[in-house]
């Protein structure tokens, strides 16, 4: 595993990398398998983003399936 800015680098780089990296693959793979019709419930233009946060993201993501 190479050093990445998201998990730090050097002697104090994140010890959770081996867990944190496969986690989203497992989560989203399982979610897709269990709810194959999962999709946004609103148009992409209506999704509000939160640009001022340390971790960039959406304020809410209404979904339907
Ligand atoms: C997406 C998930 C994660 C991200 C982005 C992340 C990011 C980071 C970052 C930036 C650091 C600081 C590195 C530094 O001091 O230069 C760190 C340290 C650390 N992380 Fe994570 N981390 C994540 C998940 C986890 C998980 C799941 C665990 C444990 C199960 C964990 C355990 C640790 C520990 C113990 C340190 C301290 C390492 C040290 O100071 O020697 N992290 N992490």
Render pLDDT for 9-63 as a digit per residue (tens, 0 to 9). Answer: 888 899 999 999 999 999 999 999 999 999 999 999 999 999 887 888 999 999 9
Tell whether ligand 1 has an atom less than 6 A from the beta carbon of residue 20: yes
Instruction: Please identify, by atom number, the ligand 1 atom nearest to the C-alpha of residue 9.
Output: 16
Q: Is the dihedral of CA 17, 23, 26, 29 positive or negative?
A: negative
pLDDT at residue 18, rounded to an integer: 92
Higher pLDDT, 19 or 2: 19
* pLDDT at 1 > cutoff 60: no
């Amino acid at each position: 595993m190479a050093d990445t800015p998201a998990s730090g680098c050097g002697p104090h780089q994140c010890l959770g990398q081996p867990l944190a990296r496969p986690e989203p693959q497992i989560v989203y793979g399982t979610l897709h398998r269990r709810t194959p019709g999962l999709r946004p419930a609103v148009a992409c233009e209506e999704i509000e983003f939160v640009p001022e946060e340390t971790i960039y993201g959406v304020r809410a993501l209404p979904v339907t399936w």
